[in-house]
Chain A
Amino acid sequence: MLLGRKHKNPIKIADKGVVDWKYTTCGYCSTGCSIEVGLNEKGEAVTSRGVGSAAVNRGKLCLKGLFEHELFRTANRGRVPLMREHPHDKFREVGWDVSLTRVADEIKRIQKQHGRDAFAIVSTGQIMTEEFYTLGKLARGVIGTNNYDGNTTLCMASAVSGYKRSFGSDGPPGCYEDFEHTECLLAIGSNLPEQHPIIFWRLKQALEKRKFPVIVVDPRVTMFAQMADIHLPITPGTDLVLLNALAHVILDEGLEDRNYIAAHTQDFDRFAELVAQYDPVTAAPVCGIDEDTIRNVARLYARAGAAMTIWTMGINQSTHGSDGVVAINNLNLITGNIGKAGGTSLSITGQCNAMGTREWSACSGLPGYRSLENEEDRKTVADYWGIDAEFLPPKRGLFQTDIFPAIESGQIKGLWLVATNPMTSMSHTARIRKTLEKLEFLVVQDAYSDVETNEYSHVYLPAAIWAEKEGCFTNTERRVNLTRNVIAPYADSKPDLWIFNAVAKHFEAGKKIRFPDTAEGVFDELRDLSKGRMLDYSGMSYAKIEQQRGIQWPCHEDAETGTPRLYSDGVFQYPDGKARLIALPFVDNNERPDDAFPFWLNSGRVVEHFHTRTRTGKVGNLNKFSPTPYMEMNPDAAKALGIEHGRYARLSSRRGDAVVLVQLTHRVPPNMVFIPFHFHECANRLSLGLLDPHSRQPAFKHCAVRVEAAADQALAAERNMNARTY
Chain B
Amino acid sequence: MYKIRQDEPDYAFIADAAAPECNRYGKPIQLVDEGDVLAGKSLHINGDPSVGGGADRYKQHGFYFNADNCIACHACESACSEKNDLPPHLAFRSVGYVEGGTYPSYQRLNISMACNHCDDPVCLKGCPTRAYTKFAEYGAVLQDPDICFGCGYCTWVCPYNAPQLDPVKGRVEKCNMCVDRLEVGLKPACVAACLGNALDFGVIETVPQNRDQKKLRIPGFPTPDITQPNIRFQQTRTLPREMTRPDNMPLRYQRQGGVTGEYSPKVATGQDRPGWNLKQLHTREDPLVVFTLLSQAVVGAFMVLFLAALFAPAFLSPAENPLAYGLILGGLIVAQTGALALSTLHLGKPHRFYRAFNNLRYSPVSREVAGIALFYNLLLAYTLLTVWPGLSAVLPGTMANSLTTFAGWGAFIVGPVAIYFMYRIYRIRARPFWDHWQTLSSFMGSVMSLGGTVGALFYTYLLAPSGETAPLLLAVLALVVALGLALEGVGLICHRRAMHNRGGEGAASQYVQASRFGKTYRTRNLTMLLVIGVMAVMMFNPPASWTAVLLWWGVFGLVLGMAVTGRALFYALVVPTTLPRAFFWRNAGFESHARQTGLAALPQVGVIADSH
Measured CB to CB, the residues of A under 8 A from B are 1-5, 8-16, 47-48, 51-53, 58-63, 66-67, 193-194, 197-198, 200-201, 204-205, 208, 221, 223-227, 231, 233, 607-608, 617-628, 630, 634, 636, 646, 661, 663, 665-670, 717-718, 720-721, 724-725
Contact of B103 among A15, A16, A197, A670 (CB under 8 A): A670
Report yes or no: B9 in contact with A59, Cβ–Cβ below 8 A. Answer: yes
Tell me if B534 counts as interface (CB < 8 A to partner A).
Answer: no
Tell me if B278 counts as interface (CB < 8 A to partner A).
Answer: no
- What 0/1 pattern do residues 71 to 88 of B give for CB contact below 8 A with A? 111110111011111111
Chain A min CB distance to B104 (Å): 4
Tell me if B179 counts as interface (CB < 8 A to partner A).
Answer: yes
Chain A neighbourhood of B9, CB < 8 A: 52, 58-59
Given A2-B135, A620-B604, 10 other A-B residues pairs in contact with their CB atoms under 8 A: A3-B132, A4-B130, A10-B45, A11-B46, A53-B7, A223-B108, A620-B88, A626-B583, A627-B606, A636-B102
Tell me if B530 counts as interface (CB < 8 A to partner A).
Answer: no
Tell me if B598 counts as interface (CB < 8 A to partner A).
Answer: yes
Report yes or no: A204 in contact with B99, Cβ–Cβ below 8 A. Answer: no
- What 0/1 pattern do residues 573 to 594 of B give for CB contact below 8 A with A? 0000000001111010110011
Tell me if B417 counts as interface (CB < 8 A to partner A).
Answer: no
CA distance A618 to B604 in the complex (A): 6
Report yes or no: B103 in contact with A204, Cβ–Cβ below 8 A. Answer: no
CA distance A67 to B46 in the complex (A): 24
CA distance A221 to B102 in the complex (A): 10
Chain B neighbourhood of A1, CB < 8 A: 38, 133-136
Q: Tell me which of B190-198, B386-394, B450-458 binds A.
A: B190-198
Tell me if B317 counts as interface (CB < 8 A to partner A).
Answer: no
Contacts A4-B130, A14-B84, A620-B604 given; does A204 touch B196 at CB 8 Å: yes
Report yes or no: A201 in contact with B193, Cβ–Cβ below 8 A. Answer: no
Chain B min CB distance to A289 (Å): 11
- What 0/1 pattern do residues 1 to 39 of B give for CB contact below 8 A with A? 000011111011000000000000000000110000010
Report yes or no: B106 in contact with A66, Cβ–Cβ below 8 A. Answer: no
Report yes or no: B71 in contact with A10, Cβ–Cβ below 8 A. Answer: no
Q: Which residues in chain B, 26-66, are within 8 Å of chain A measured between CB atoms?
A: 31-32, 38, 43-47
Chain B neighbourhood of A720, CB < 8 A: 597
Measured CB to CB, the residues of B under 8 A from A are 5-9, 11-12, 31-32, 38, 43-47, 69, 71-75, 77-79, 81-89, 99-104, 106-108, 110, 121, 124-125, 130, 132-136, 139, 142, 144-147, 176, 178-180, 192-193, 195-197, 210, 246, 248, 582-585, 587, 589-590, 593-594, 596-599, 602-607
Chain B neighbourhood of A608, CB < 8 A: 74
Report yes or no: A621 in contact with B71, Cβ–Cβ below 8 A. Answer: no
Report yes or no: A193 in contact with B73, Cβ–Cβ below 8 A. Answer: yes
Chain B neighbourhood of A4, CB < 8 A: 124, 130, 132-134
Chain A neighbourhood of B176, CB < 8 A: 11, 13
CA distance A198 to B121 in the complex (A): 36
Q: Report 14 cross-chain contacts, Cβ distance below 8 Å, ordered by A residue.
A: A1-B133, A2-B32, A2-B134, A8-B133, A15-B46, A221-B104, A223-B71, A620-B606, A621-B88, A624-B607, A625-B582, A627-B604, A665-B106, A717-B593
Report yes or no: A208 in contact with B604, Cβ–Cβ below 8 A. Answer: no
Chain A min CB distance to B112 (Å): 13
Contacts A1-B134, A14-B83, A52-B9 given; does A667 touch B196 at CB 8 Å: no
Contacts A1-B136, A3-B134, A718-B597 given; does A666 touch B103 at CB 8 Å: yes
Chain B neighbourhood of A670, CB < 8 A: 103
Chain A neighbourhood of B32, CB < 8 A: 2
Contacts A2-B31, A10-B46 given; does A621 touch B78 at CB 8 Å: yes
Chain B neighbourhood of A5, CB < 8 A: 130, 133
Chain A min CB distance to B162 (Å): 16
Chain B neighbourhood of A630, CB < 8 A: 583-584
CA distance A634 to B99 in the complex (A): 13
CA distance A618 to B605 in the complex (A): 9
Report yes or no: B121 in contact with A3, Cβ–Cβ below 8 A. Answer: yes
Contacts A13-B179, A52-B7 given; does A724 touch B197 at CB 8 Å: no
CB nearest neighbor in B for A47: B82
Chain A neighbourhood of B89, CB < 8 A: 620, 624
Report yes or no: A221 in contact with B135, Cβ–Cβ below 8 A. Answer: no
Report yes or no: A621 in contact with B82, Cβ–Cβ below 8 A. Answer: yes
Chain A min CB distance to B368 (Å): 21
Chain A neighbourhood of B100, CB < 8 A: 666
Chain B neighbourhood of A47, CB < 8 A: 82
Chain A neighbourhood of B85, CB < 8 A: 14, 16
Report yes or no: B584 in contact with A627, Cβ–Cβ below 8 A. Answer: yes
CB nearest neighbor in A for B599: A721
CB nearest neighbor in B for A219: B104
Report yes or no: B133 in contact with A12, Cβ–Cβ below 8 A. Answer: no
Chain A neighbourhood of B38, CB < 8 A: 1-2
CB nearest neighbor in B for A8: B133
Report yes or no: B75 in contact with A66, Cβ–Cβ below 8 A. Answer: yes
Chain A neighbourhood of B584, CB < 8 A: 624-628, 630
CB nearest neighbor in B for A630: B583
CA distance A52 to B603 in the complex (A): 33
Report yes or no: A63 in contact with B597, Cβ–Cβ below 8 A. Answer: no
Report yes or no: B84 in contact with A13, Cβ–Cβ below 8 A. Answer: yes
Report yes or no: B75 in contact with A61, Cβ–Cβ below 8 A. Answer: yes
Report yes or no: B147 in contact with A721, Cβ–Cβ below 8 A. Answer: no
Contact of B210 among A15, A208, A622, A661 (CB under 8 A): A208
Contact of A62 among B12, B99, B147, B195 (CB under 8 A): B195
Chain B min CB distance to A671 (Å): 10
Report yes or no: A11 in contact with B597, Cβ–Cβ below 8 A. Answer: no
CA distance A1 to B42 in the complex (A): 12
CA distance A51 to B12 in the complex (A): 13
Chain A neighbourhood of B5, CB < 8 A: 52
Chain A neighbourhood of B136, CB < 8 A: 1-2
Which of A3, A224, A718: most chain B Cβ within 10 A? A3
Contacts A204-B69, A625-B582, A717-B597 given; does A9 touch B108 at CB 8 Å: no
Give the 9 A-B CB pairs with smallest separation, nearest first.
A624-B606, A620-B88, A4-B133, A52-B7, A10-B44, A63-B78, A53-B7, A193-B71, A233-B104
CB nearest neighbor in B for A620: B88
CB nearest neighbor in A for B127: A4
Chain B neighbourhood of A16, CB < 8 A: 85
CA distance A48 to B193 in the complex (A): 12
CA distance A623 to B81 in the complex (A): 14
CA distance A619 to B71 in the complex (A): 22
CB nearest neighbor in B for A672: B103
Chain B neighbourhood of A205, CB < 8 A: 197
Chain A min CB distance to B383 (Å): 38
Chain B neighbourhood of A8, CB < 8 A: 44, 133, 144
Chain B neighbourhood of A58, CB < 8 A: 9
Chain B neighbourhood of A194, CB < 8 A: 71, 73
Report yes or no: B71 in contact with A197, Cβ–Cβ below 8 A. Answer: yes
Chain B neighbourhood of A14, CB < 8 A: 83-85
Contact of B73 among A63, A233, A619, A666 (CB under 8 A): A63
Report yes or no: A724 in contact with B602, Cβ–Cβ below 8 A. Answer: yes
Contact of A627 among B69, B596, B599 (CB under 8 A): B599
Chain B neighbourhood of A617, CB < 8 A: 604
Which of A200, A227, A607, A627: most chain B Cβ within 10 A? A627
CB nearest neighbor in B for A10: B44
Which of A8, A618, A622: most chain B Cβ within 10 A? A8
CA distance A662 to B443 in the complex (A): 41
CA distance A67 to B88 in the complex (A): 12
Chain B neighbourhood of A627, CB < 8 A: 584, 594, 599, 602, 604-607
CA distance A573 to B369 in the complex (A): 82
Report yes or no: A201 in contact with B599, Cβ–Cβ below 8 A. Answer: no
Report yes or no: A9 in contact with B147, Cβ–Cβ below 8 A. Answer: yes
Report yes or no: A667 in contact with B106, Cβ–Cβ below 8 A. Answer: yes
CB nearest neighbor in B for A671: B103
Chain B neighbourhood of A721, CB < 8 A: 597-599
CA distance A618 to B195 in the complex (A): 24
Report yes or no: B605 in contact with A193, Cβ–Cβ below 8 A. Answer: no
Which of A223, A608, A617, A663: most chain B Cβ within 10 A? A223
